[in-house]
Structure 1
């Protein structure tokens, strides 16, 4: 399993509209090949983080163009370009 962690900065005045726009993207996000879990979090200042779990690094890399296209739909809400890093999942626990 592979985790893609993306840090981003929204314009604070865009948070509510960004949440609404994200909801519209849910079907496309969850339909991406290999998608296991998607978590998007944001603070009141617009700083946020996306954690997506996918089957493998190869799957994540293959989704890169589609992911970039979706981030481009958010460009009016962003203060700066998102920064993504990927990691092999070392542990995946839950209660």
Structure 2
């Protein structure tokens, strides 16, 4: 498995609107090829991370265009473009 960890920063006052938009996009996000897990965390200041766990790095790379389009829906709420890094998954535990 492979994880893409993306750092982002929302504009002040946009967290509630962005959260509503995120929930509307759930089916598109979770429907991406090879998606296992999706976690989005955000502090009150709008800084946050998205952690997506997919089947492989190749799968993640193949989803890049769709991911870009999804981030584009948040453009007016973001302070700047998100930055992503990829990692091999060592453990993915769930209770």
Which range, TM-score by smaller chain? over 0.9
Any gaps of 5 or more consecutive residues in structure 2? none
TM-score by length of 2: 0.97
The whole-number CA distance in structure 2 between the counterparts of 1:24 and 1:40 is: 14
Determine whether 1:12 maps to 2:12.
yes
The whole-number CA distance in structure 2 between the counterparts of 1:16 and 1:74 is: 12
Give the corresponding residue for 2:34.
34
TM-score by length of 1: 0.97
- 1:28 Cα shift? 0.2
Which of structure 1's runs of 4+ aligned residues deviate more than 4 A? none
Give the corresponding residue for 1:51.
51
RMSD value, Cα: 0.7
Count how many residue pairs are aligned between Structure 1 and Structure 2: 95
The whole-number CA distance in structure 2 between the counterparts of 1:43 and 1:12 is: 11
The whole-number CA distance in structure 2 between the counterparts of 1:45 and 1:12 is: 7
The whole-number CA distance in structure 2 between the counterparts of 1:92 and 1:41 is: 17
Any gaps of 5 or more consecutive residues in structure 1? none
Determine whether 1:86 maps to 2:64.
no
